[in-house]
Structure formats: C-alpha cells, structure tokens
Amino acid sequence: MDKERVKKLVRELIIEIGEDPTREGLKDTPQRIANMYEEIFGGYESDSELSVQFSEDSDVVVARNIQFYSMCEHHMLPFFGKIHIAYSPNGRVFGISKLVRLVEKYSKRLQIQERLTKNIADELFAQGVKGVVVLADAEHLCMKMRGVRNDATLTSSAYRGIYENKEEKESIMTMIRRRTPE
C-alpha cells in the first residue's frame, strides 16, 4: 500500500466533508489513517503458514471464540465478532495460533462475512483434513449506524468434507455451540 497516496486521499476526503485538514484535531489524521489501513488490511500480505502441523490424531478439534475484526466491502465500516472452527484431522493437527492467523489472514481485508467464513473453510479443507466447519457470529456497523439501524447479529457457516453429511453436521454443531465451563 502506498501510504503517501493514502494520506493525500484522506486529506482530500477531509476537505470534501467540509473540514479543515490543518486544524489541530485533524492535522495528523491522514497519517493515522494510513497507518491504521496498513494494519487492518494486512490480510492481503499475510501467509497463514498452515503447512506447520503436528503429528497427532483426534476425532475432532474445536477452537471456539476466535475474535476477529474486518471491514465491510460495501460501506467500508467494521464488522466484528467470533469465529468457531471445528475440523477432523487426518493424522495431523494445527496449532491454535495457526487457526488464529488464518482468521486474521482473511478478516484483515475488505470482506463480507459469508466469504470470510468460506475462505477459512476452504483453506483448512485444502490441507487434507477429513472435514471442517467454520461458524461466524458478527455485528455489522454498516447495519447499526446507517440503513436499518438495527443491532441484529449475523451468523454464517461453511461445511466441508464429512461435515456436509446431515448427521455429522448436527453432531459437530452441538459440540461447537456447547458452552465451556467458566
């Protein structure tokens, strides 16, 4: 990303809004926005490194409540929430940090929740697991701040491999939704 160009564009936007980009509270805003965009859109440059796995077998691995933040590609406003990932290994398991990095890889982009869910499931399934489920629950500021102005939460899901079977799907969804002891 060309941060100098982003700074120039943000300065122009501030002027278009009707503000003075040289006033005290705004003079450093173009730099702050350029730095922020470099961070929150870092998923385009990310490598999730899923190739690093451990020899181990388990019937199912579930990672719940992976926090994510993303930007709606339609309005460029944040959406955020929790992603739950379940997969059935095929002799190899991923470290939890790899799953978190995978979520970050796809969430730190201009995105829609449904594609985010699908991208994560597709990349995990491509690693040779028997099946994968990705469930995302999110709040969308583009819906809260404008338009319908409603606090509804959106849930999206993606199923691959053995979890496309109805019985397996029901079983794994029960496991994902199970509350953990506090």
In this structure, the chain runs to a length of: 182
List the pLDDT tens digit at each of the 182 positions of the chain: 999 999 999 999 999 999 999 999 999 999 999 999 999 999 988 776 665 556 666 789 999 999 999 999 999 999 999 999 999 998 888 888 999 999 999 999 999 999 999 999 999 999 999 999 999 999 999 999 988 888 899 999 999 999 999 888 888 888 888 865 44
**Contacts (Cβ under 8 Å, ≥6 apart) of 74:** 112, 142
Q: What is the CATH number of domain 52-177?
A: 3.30.1130.10
Predicted pLDDT at 95? 86
User: What are the catalytic residues?
Assistant: 72-75, 113, 140, 142
Element (H, E) at 142: helix 141-144
Predicted pLDDT at 46? 76
Domain boundaries, the chain: 3-40, 52-177
Question: Is CATH 2.40.50.140 the classification given to domain 3-40?
Answer: no
Q: How far is CA 127 from CA 87, 115, 170, in A?
A: 11, 19, 23
